[in-house]
Structure 1
Amino acid sequence: MIDPWFEIERIDDDTFVIAEPSHVRSHLIIGDERAVLFDTGLGVRPIRPVVAELTDRPVLTVASHHHFDHVGGNHEFDEVAIHHAGAELLAQGPPPGWLTAYWEGFLDYVERFSPDASTARPLPADFAPQHPDFRPSAATRLLDDGEVLPLGGRDLRVVHVPGHTQDSICLVDESHGFLFGGDAIDTGGIYAHLPTADPAQFVASLRRLDALLPSTVVAVLSPHSRAGRHGRDVIGREADAIATALTGGVVFESGKDCFRQAACVASIGDFAIYLAPVSP
């Protein structure tokens, strides 16, 4: 039985979304011989038993980047891969205060919008958001741009897309027509203001990805937006939105991110671009 903290969506016979509703999605990608779990979520509840319900193949966990909401279940697995730029940050764990601020913000959200938050899962009784437990993990494999992960009848190509973080990657699944975007590609809030972010580099990475992506890739699977699935045009639209924000030709509002840190936020189409506050 699947733990009720998670919600499973079957994309096709060999591709699953393992969602923690209102928080994040991980993606299970299964080949004939091996499987990749792209991100392991928050670590609120064990994700490995969920994966075991869906496949009996050996599993390599691949982190889209080092942020805690994507690597919380890494410690449950023997094989953990991340781009080499994120290995040290992965081992360090989240910055002080991020976890408690995140959960305080989530509880505030549920309290304020509970009539509209029906998709938000109740927190497990043994999880204390005031003192969240998080276990940093160590990488057993370091990834490079262009590296291919063979799963048996299905290959995943690593594309390094620095910008949201310096270690951000996407996975190209040409045979199934998917791009697994991680936090680099999504709609809604686009964080380009956190440590190791570089918004100009973000734009360049997205432009490069858009140019090299095979025409057979038609769907982008993402971790945070309500839809979770987009057409490939989202890549160019996101690049345009960040570039527009960088020109300063849009209205910025003072806002806060999910860690209750100050940011400048510009709403542009389907995107809310977060940039670092300008120093006085």
Structure 2
Amino acid sequence: MSTWYSSSVVEPGLTLVTEPAVHDYFRANVFVLNGRDRNLVVDAGMGLVPLRPALPLDPDRPVIAVATHIHLDHVGGLHEFDERAGPRVSAAGFATMPDALTYAGMFRGFPGAVTRPPFPGWRSEDYRLEPAPLGRALVAGDVVDLGDRSFTVLSLPGHAPDSIGLFDEADGLFFCGDAIYPGGLIDDLPDSDRAAYRATMRLILSLPIRLACGGHGNVMDPETVRMIADDYLHATDRRR
């Protein structure tokens, strides 16, 4: 494991990988799930240090990497994977990774972007994302099949217009990206939509979730998910 990354086992076959030296505003979760026929990687970090060698992937199984949305902290290492999937809403953008969609410009010159440089001479001002054209553009209702389990794609707009999640309806495991996670949710980006976010929260509240793996912070039990979603709905109801 690279010293840049930190990993922890969430449950058998499921690993959480993070970048501790990245400022917490940009420090996103990468999840690795080992399926019978394929490995699944959900989101791909900042791309400051090669990601794939740091992941606990079974070398005898192919890997599908899924981006929950196109923001910089979720797509940095996506180009390292041969099989890439992400939301159809922003599919064209993955081929060029424009700042207007990724918000990569926010990281350049950001005070305290990292607590230590990923390599000598590194500067946040030089930060760029590698293009990662999608092989599969996902929409709600699509299925990502790992052989022994499958995930239904959910559309979860609000934080970003292209936000998607993956839900194992049989098991209750939910990869939700930045739709919901512990801490302050971000709904004030130029392309955020609070009305859409409220609808997403109502959808999340209807799901039989066992374990929710968000884009930031700790994994969540159903009670935590319910509290965050309810709090958001109450807070935004007052702001309408």
Asked if Structure 1 and Structure 2 have the same fold, meaning a TM-score greater than 0.5 normalized by the shorter chain, the answer is yes
Question: Secondary structure, in 3 states, of the residue corresponding to 2:99?
Answer: coil
Q: Which of the two has higher C-alpha Rg?
A: 1
Q: Which residue of 2 aligns with 1:140?
A: 135
Q: Are 1:81 and 2:80 matched, yes or no?
A: no
Q: Which residue of 2 aligns with 1:17?
A: 16
* Structure 1 unaligned residues grouped into runs of 5+: 111-119, 251-280
In the comparison of the two structures, how many residue pairs are matched?
A: 233
Residues 211-263 of structure 1 show CA distances to partners (whole Å, capped at 9, x for unaligned) of 1x23xx322112222xx11122344433333333334469xxxxxxxxxxxxx
Contact 1:68 1:94 in 2 (8 A): no
Give the TM-score normalised by the residue count of structure 2: 0.86
Q: Which residue of 1 aligns with 2:163?
A: 168
Percent of counterpart pairs with the same letter?
Answer: 32
Q: Which residue of 2 aligns with 1:157?
A: 152
Contact 2:108 2:125 in 1 (8 A): yes
Q: Are 1:240 and 2:239 matched, yes or no?
A: no
CA shift in 2, pair 1:100/1:160, >3 Å:
closer
In 2: Cα distance, 1:58 partner to 1:240 partner: 39
Residues 119-151 of structure 1 show CA distances to partners (whole Å, capped at 9, x for unaligned) of x56533253212113212211101121222110
The list of structure 1 runs, each at least 4 consecutive aligned residues, that deviate by more than 4 angstroms after superposition, is: none
Question: Secondary structure, in 3 states, of the residue corresponding to 2:127?
Answer: coil
* Structure 2 unaligned residues grouped into runs of 5+: none
In 2: Cα distance, 1:232 partner to 1:103 partner: 36
Shift of 1:155: 1.2
Q: Are 1:221 and 2:216 matched, yes or no?
A: no
Structure in which a larger fraction of residues adopt strand = 1
Q: Which residue of 1 aligns with 2:109?
A: 104
Structural RMSD (CA): 2.4
Q: Which residue of 2 aligns with 1:28?
A: 32
Shift of 1:176: 4.5
Shift of 1:163: 1.0
Question: Secondary structure, in 3 states, of the residue corresponding to 1:205?
Answer: helix
- Describe how 1:44-59 pairs up with structure 2 within 5 A: 44-51=48-55, 53-56=56-59, 57-59=61-63
The one-letter code sitting in structure 1 at the alignment partner of 2:11 is D
CA shift in 2, pair 1:249/1:129, >3 Å:
closer
In 2: Cα distance, 1:106 partner to 1:221 partner: 28
Shift of 1:39: 0.5
The one-letter code sitting in structure 1 at the alignment partner of 2:215 is P
Give the TM-score normalised by the residue count of structure 1: 0.75
Shift of 1:26: 0.5
Question: Secondary structure, in 3 states, of the residue corresponding to 2:90?
Answer: helix
Residues 34-90 of structure 1 show CA distances to partners (whole Å, capped at 9, x for unaligned) of 011100110001111123x43222111101101111001111111111121121233
